[in-house]
Amino acid sequence: MRTFPTLLLCWMVTGLATVGGSILGNAGGPSGVKAGAVVGGIIGLLIALGIARRVSWIPASETRGGFVGGLLGFAAAIAITLSNMDTPVAAVMSTGLVGVGVLMGAGFARGWARGGRGA
Amino acid sequence: MPGRAIHVNLHPRYRGAWHGATREAAQARQRRRERLGLILVTLALAATILAAVRAGFDAGATVMLAAGSLVLLLSAAHPMALWSRWNSDLIGRRGRGRGMTLILLVLGLGLTLAGAGREALLRRARADCTAALRRLSSGAGGAAVLTREPYSGIRGWLIYDRRPRRCADLIRMGDAI
* pLDDT tens, residue by residue, A61-103: 889 999 999 999 999 999 998 887 777 888 888 999 999 999 9
**How much is the pLDDT for B177?**
38
**Residue A119: inside a domain:** no
Count of CB atoms situated within 10 Å of the CB of B137: 10
Bigger pLDDT: B24 vs B158:
B24
What contacts B104, CB < 8 A, 6 or more positions away?
A: A100, B71, B72, B74, B75, B79
Question: Which residues does chain B have within 8 Å of residue A4's beta carbon, measured at their own beta carbons?
Answer: 97, 99-100, 103
| A118 within some domain | no
Q: Do B90 and A115 form a contact (C-beta atoms < 8 A)?
A: no
% of residues, chain B, pLDDT over 70:
50
The predicted pLDDT at position A2 comes to 83
Average pLDDT for residues A101-117, to the nearest whole number?
76
pTM for this one? 0.73
Whether A27 contacts chain B with CB within 8 A = no
In eight-state DSSP terms, residue B85 is G
- The amino acid occupying position A23 is I
User: What's the CA gap between A96 and A18, in Å, rounded?
Assistant: 13
- When pLDDT is averaged across residues A49-67 and rounded to a whole number, the result is 93
Kindly list the domain boundaries of chain B, sorted by start residue: 12-176
Q: Please report the sign of the dihedral spanned by the C-alpha atoms of residue B117, residue B67, residue B110, residue A13.
A: negative
When pLDDT is averaged across residues B29-38 and rounded to a whole number, the result is 73
pLDDT, chain B, mean: 68
Give every CB contact of residue A28 below 8 A, 6+ residues apart in sequence. Answer: A35, A36
Alpha helices in A1-95 (DSSP H): 3-25, 29-54, 63-82, 88-94
For residue B61, which residues of chain A lie inside 8 Å, CB to CB? Answer: 83
Arithmetic mean of pLDDT, A16-35: 90
Rg (CA), chain B: 28
Is the Cβ pair B107, A85 closer than 8 Å?
no
pLDDT digits 0-9 by tens, B86-107: 444 444 444 556 778 888 899 9
Residue A47 lies in a domain: yes
Residue from A4, A48, A45, A100 nearest B110 by CA: A100
Q: How many domains does chain A have?
A: 1
**Overall residue count recorded for chain A in this entry:** 119
At A70 the pLDDT is 96
Residue B137 has a pLDDT of 63
Question: Is A96 in CB contact (< 8 Å) with chain B?
Answer: yes
- Residue A26, CA atoms < 13 Å, CB-side half-sphere: 6
Q: Does A23 touch chain B (CB under 8 A)?
A: no
Average pLDDT for residues A30-43, to the nearest whole number? 92
> What span, in angstroms and rounded, lies between the C-alpha atoms of B70 and B119?
18
Domain that holds residue A12: 3-113
**Confidence label for B84 from pLDDT (cuts 50, 70 and 90):** very low
> What is the pLDDT at residue A89?
82
